[in-house]
Amino acid sequence: MKPNRIVEKGHRSLIITAYVVTIFFVVSAIIPVLWMLVSSLKTETDILAYPPKWTPSIPQSVQVTLDYSGVEERDALFYEKEAMKATWYPWMKNLRENIGEVKVTGVRDGQIIYRARTISSSFHVGQPLIVPSTLFNETQMNLKLPFIREQKLSDFEWFGEDGGEQASDGLFVSDAAISSKFQSFYSSTPLVEGKVTGIEERFSWIRMFDSYLALNKIAQDASGTLGFFQYFLNSTIVTLATVTIQLVLGGIAGYAISFLIKSKKWQFIWVMFFLATIMIPGISLLLPQYLLMKDLGLVNTLYAIILPHSAWGIVIFLFKGFFDQLPGELMQAARVDGASDFRIFSQIVVPLSYPVFTVVAVMTFIPVWNEFLWPLVVNNNPQFWTFTVALNDLQNKSSVQQNMVMASSLLSMVPLFIVFITSQKYIEKGVAFSGVKG
Amino acid sequence: MTIKRFSIPWMLILFLFPSVVCFLLFKYYPLLHMIYISLFDYSIVNPPGKFAGLTNYTGILTSATFWEAVSNTFVFFVLYLVLTFWVPVIQALLLSEIRKGNALFRFLYQLPTIMPMVAGVLIWKWMYNPDFGLLNYWLSFVGLGPYLWLNDLDITKLAIVLPSLFAGSGISLLLYYSAIRSVPTEILEAAKVDGAGPWKRMWTMLLPNIKFIIIIQFVTFMSGVLLAYDNIYVMTQGGPAGSTTVVSMLIVNTAFQQSRFGVSAAMSAFMFLVIALLTIIQNKISSVKD
For residue A132, whether the previous peptide bond is cis, meaning omega lies within 30 degrees of 0, is no
Which range scores top for mean pLDDT: A127-141, A343-357, B176-190, B240-254? B240-254
| pLDDT of B6 | 66
The residue ranges of chain A whose pLDDT is under 50 are 1-2, 435-438
Average pLDDT, chain A: 85
Q: Is A392 left (phi over 0), alpha (psi -120 to 50) or beta?
A: alpha
| pLDDT of B215 | 87
Residues in B closer than 8 angstroms to A388, CB to CB, are: 116-119
| pLDDT of A436 | 41
Q: Which residue of A has its CA nearest to B247?
A: A283
Q: Is the dihedral of CA B140, B146, B147, B148 positive or negative?
A: positive
| pLDDT of A417 | 86
Min Cα distance B1 → chain A (Å) is 22
| pLDDT of A252 | 93
State whether A281 and B223 contact (CB < 8 Å). Answer: yes
Average pLDDT, chain B: 87
The answer to whether the CB of A222 falls within 8 A of the CB of A356 is no
Min Cα distance B154 → chain A (Å) is 24
| pLDDT of A165 | 75
| pLDDT of B4 | 56
Residues in A closer than 8 angstroms to B265, CB to CB, are: 287-288
Min Cα distance B78 → chain A (Å) is 21
Confidence of residue B189 (pLDDT cuts 50, 70, 90): confident
Q: How many CA atoms lie within 13 A of A177 on its CB side?
A: 9
The answer to whether the CB of B42 falls within 8 A of the CB of B245 is no
Comparing CB atoms, the residue among A25, A255, A405 nearest residue B91 is A25
| pLDDT of B36 | 93
Decide if domain B17-289 falls under CATH 1.20.140.10: no
| pLDDT of A170 | 67
State whether B91 and A311 contact (CB < 8 Å). Answer: no
| B182-190 average pLDDT score | 83
| pLDDT of A108 | 84
| pLDDT of B23 | 95
CA distances A294 to A36, A290, A291, Å, are 38, 6, 5
Min Cα distance B189 → chain A (Å) is 13
| pLDDT of A432 | 62
Q: Which residue of B has its CA nearest to A366?
A: B114
| B116-138 average pLDDT score | 89
Residue A385 CA to its chain's centroid (Å)? 13
Q: What percentage of residues in chain A have a pLDDT greater than 70?
A: 95
Q: What percentage of residues in chain B have a pLDDT greater than 90?
A: 40
